[in-house]
Structure 1
Amino acid sequence: MRSRRGRAAVASLAVVLALTSGCSFGPPGPDEAGSAPNLPGPSVAPTASADAGDQEIAVTVLAKGLEVPWGIAFLPDGSALVTERDTGRILKVGPESDADGLKVTEADRLAEVRSSGDGGLLGIAVSPKYATDKTLYVYYSTATDNRIGKLVLGRTLQPILTGIPRSLEQNGGALAFGPDGYLYAGTGDGTPTGTLAQNPKSLGGKILRMTTAGKPAPGNPAKNSLVWTSGHRNVQGLTWDATKRMFATESTQPRFTELNVVRKGKNYGWPKADGTAGVAKFTDPMITWPTAQASCGGVAALETLVATACLLGKRVYLLNVTGNGTILGKAQELLTDKYGRLRALVTAPDGSLWVSTSNQEDAGEPDPEDDRLIRLVFSDGGAGRS
């Protein structure tokens, strides 16, 4: 674990990027179908702007000096809770501001967390009933396993599910409430050869669906089983679009990074399939990228846009997806090599996207401002909201 580079701080910086040659966000060329997505403007105007032709992208650095921020979830008041993988801290970002921008405070520190490799304090989800129960859910590593627990800030963490396989590099960690009100978790296979992903009795290499007590949710594919889907290597991102279609990233397969449309009871092929298998018993990904250009973590959806943030690829991929799951045009790129490794990606309540860097880990090359939380707002031209 890297040492901390100063206390958490906030700085507000806004720039506008033009997407050109490989990062174009304007209308597609004649060999592409569809058009690029368009998101609402920022709730607060950026401090700098420029004419980027058909598309302006306001990029605002909301916070600096964090240490491997992993999960982001929003409270009803618009503030964000951010987990730090290696420190076990939960940070509260906003909604208040100080002289530098959004205020960052330590909301809690979980002593139960034991970080090593890519394990530690990972995903975080806010109870749909937070206004009355004040409850949060976290995915975290101990010395022997990965767990899901619930807590009220400042009170004791209570595990609701234990025994998820623990390893140095494949711990999963995605955690989110679905439109159905149940809690979903993405786990890692945790073995070098992928022996758990195809084992229906193992929690490893799965997407799990559960009640807030950690019990199998009604309607799961197999009665009394938490398993929603199987055949995964390392699920680190989950999201749903407006049609309630579910997406998940497959983060660290050796050859291909996958973005999957998740369907009840399906098998996504690991370790038999790395990328598209073309085998009837396995469900092929919606899209793949070479892992060296991707290794994506967080995934977010807004209207027709699906976006994923990538660690090795050091970029955000943007997709325009139709109602039947067809991708319009080519996957487009944003922030390539501008901020280093990118991990978390979520849609904020105001329609912006928040993304985190992950440069304060052993594979990263941090600069004095890392790690950062970054806010993205798209405007002008393209499809989607005007």
Structure 2
Amino acid sequence: MTGGGGWVVRFRRSRALAASSTALLALTAGCSFGPPGPDQAGSPPNLPRPSAAPTAGGDDTSREVAITVLAKNLEVPWGIAFLPDGGAVVTERDTARILKIGPESTAGGLKVTELRRLNEVRASGDGGLLGIAVSPGYATDKTLFVYYSTDQDNRIGRLAGDGRLEPVLTGIPRSPEHNGGALAFGPDGFLYAGTGDGTPEGGQAQNAKSLGGKILRITTAGKPAPGNPVKTSPVWTSGHRNVQGLAWDAAKRLYATDRGQPRTAELNVVVKGKNYGWPKADGESTDAKFTNPLTSWPTQTSSCAGVAVLESLVATACLLGQRLQLLDVTGTGTVLGSPQELLTDEFGRLRTVVTAPDGSFWVGTSNQEDAGRPNPEDDRILRLVFSDGGAGRS
């Protein structure tokens, strides 16, 4: 369960956009380099510099991104969260395993260790062991939080250092598809979860009494967090279809992916108490009571799950689209220029993208499932390092 090797791909950045932020444009050529050297615990891996020299000309400057396989032969990796020692914990949806990846290296990549397998999980459809979040006090409490499916519902559980799994929030609707699963601690110290509507007709997202089709905000005990729109409810926002990615920028602005709509997949800026329209809206709506997405893509070229933010760059990982969709966002949270693409059809279905503590992007593939076409190394965790002005400066 280890991996190595790498590539360099070249993209272009417009000088007009580079003055205020990073914009990634069309991919061109690639070449290879060897695996990274051994890592120091908690420090960025020692990746080689991109092997093709940047070029410049006209109105564009050329930059590169180095891609390394950190781990391979996984089975539908879903959530990724980072530990204080520089390693990461990764969930596998269908096996219900929690893996630790790194920070130690092997000859083929980062060391992969199985931490535990959760017997309480019942995987089927897109349900199983989904999101994972590391307690802000992990250095002392050794606690993880997980979003998982049972036969009856989806739950958020607290996993203590001794391996005990304690449910802290139950009753999130369970269905064959659209179970949500995003889980992350926000800058305010509270735990956020993205849920799925769980019904073909969209019966939960507009139902204030249901936890389905919502973004929730709770304490580590599973109680509604102080400051929620309704004091007695964990609901932060409503009108979502299937939230599988959450990420914050430096201004504490929350971005969330929403997938599963027939026509579009959305990237939303999440604002307390807002309603994002599902099932009455699929993409943009003219109804003033609904909040429109920051941007949306046709479902067949997107179906994006994970989301990550670094500086002005927002990246979403797409399943049907088999690519990263990239946005350059201004300081006020609006899109600068057109969304661009990276890794299109290079690694198959991409489910997860997260920003590592060193500023690189980690990307998880999702080819070991019914809709995928796995190659002999799938599933994989990739690391992306941009050579200048972007994620993971080398």
TM-score by length of 2: 0.90
Q: Secondary structure at the match of 2:66?
A: strand
Question: Hey, what does 2:40 align to over in structure 1?
Answer: none
Instruction: Say which of 22, 27, 50 aligns to 2:14.
Output: 27
RMSD: 2.1
CA contact (8 A) 2:152 2:174 kept: yes
Q: Residue 341 in 1 paired to residue 333 in 2? A: no
Question: Hey, what does 1:36 align to over in structure 2?
Answer: 22
**What is the deviation of 1:46?**
3.0
Question: Hey, what does 1:240 align to over in structure 2?
Answer: 248
Question: Hey, what does 1:3 align to over in structure 2?
Answer: none
Question: Hey, what does 1:184 align to over in structure 2?
Answer: 192
Question: Hey, what does 2:4 align to over in structure 1?
Answer: 12
CA contact (8 A) 2:50 2:64 kept: no
* Cα distance between partner residues in 1 of 2:114 and 2:357: 22
Q: Residue 130 in 1 paired to residue 131 in 2? A: no
Instruction: Say which of 163, 171, 175 aligns to 2:179.
Output: 171
CA contact (8 A) 2:359 2:391 kept: no
Letter paired with 1:66: L
What whole-Å deviation, never above 9, does each CA across 1:72-120 have from its counterpart, x for those lacking one? Answer: 0000000000000000000000011122221001011000000000000
Question: Hey, what does 1:22 align to over in structure 2?
Answer: none
Q: Residue 328 in 1 paired to residue 352 in 2? A: no
**What is the deviation of 1:152?**
2.2
Structure 1 residues 383, 162: CA separation in 2 closer, same or farther (over 3 Å shift)? closer
Instruction: Say which of 48, 51, 54 aligns to 1:46.
Output: 48
Structure 1 residues 339, 154: CA separation in 2 closer, same or farther (over 3 Å shift)? farther
Q: Residue 312 in 1 paired to residue 320 in 2? A: yes
Where do residues 366-385 of structure 1 align in structure 2 (5 Å cutoff)? 366-380=374-388
Instruction: Say which of 346, 354, 358 aligns to 2:362.
Output: 354
Structure 2: gaps (5+ residues): 25-43, 56-61
Work out the number of aligned pairs and report it.
Answer: 370
**What is the deviation of 1:381?**
5.8
What whole-Å deviation, never above 9, does each CA across 1:188-212 have from its counterpart, x for those lacking one? Answer: 0001100110010100000000000
Structure 1 residues 52, 310: CA separation in 2 closer, same or farther (over 3 Å shift)? farther
CA contact (8 A) 2:358 2:392 kept: no
Q: Secondary structure at the match of 1:132?
A: helix
Bigger RCO of structures 1 and 2 (CA < 8 A, at least 6 apart) = 1
Q: Residue 251 in 1 paired to residue 253 in 2? A: no
Question: Hey, what does 1:299 align to over in structure 2?
Answer: 307
* Cα distance between partner residues in 1 of 2:390 and 2:310: 14
TM-score by length of 1: 0.92
Structure 1: gaps (5+ residues): 1-8, 20-24
Question: Hey, what does 1:199 align to over in structure 2?
Answer: 207
Where do residues 101-116 of structure 1 align in structure 2 (5 Å cutoff)? 101-116=109-124
Instruction: Say which of 86, 109, 112 aligns to 2:94.
Output: 86
Question: Hey, what does 1:5 align to over in structure 2?
Answer: none
> Among the aligned pairs, what percent are the same residue?
70
Q: Secondary structure at the match of 2:13?
A: coil
Structure 1 residues 170, 382: CA separation in 2 closer, same or farther (over 3 Å shift)? closer
Question: Hey, what does 1:6 align to over in structure 2?
Answer: none
Instruction: Say which of 255, 270, 273 aligns to 1:262.
Output: 270
**What is the deviation of 1:318?**
1.1
Structure 1 residues 104, 255: CA separation in 2 closer, same or farther (over 3 Å shift)? same
* Cα distance between partner residues in 1 of 2:136 and 2:229: 24
Deviating runs (4+, > 6 A) in structure 1? 382-386
* Cα distance between partner residues in 2 of 1:360 and 1:78: 27
**What is the deviation of 1:382?**
7.6
Where do residues 205-220 of structure 1 align in structure 2 (5 Å cutoff)? 205-220=213-228
* Cα distance between partner residues in 1 of 2:54 and 2:199: 47
CA contact (8 A) 2:246 2:306 kept: yes
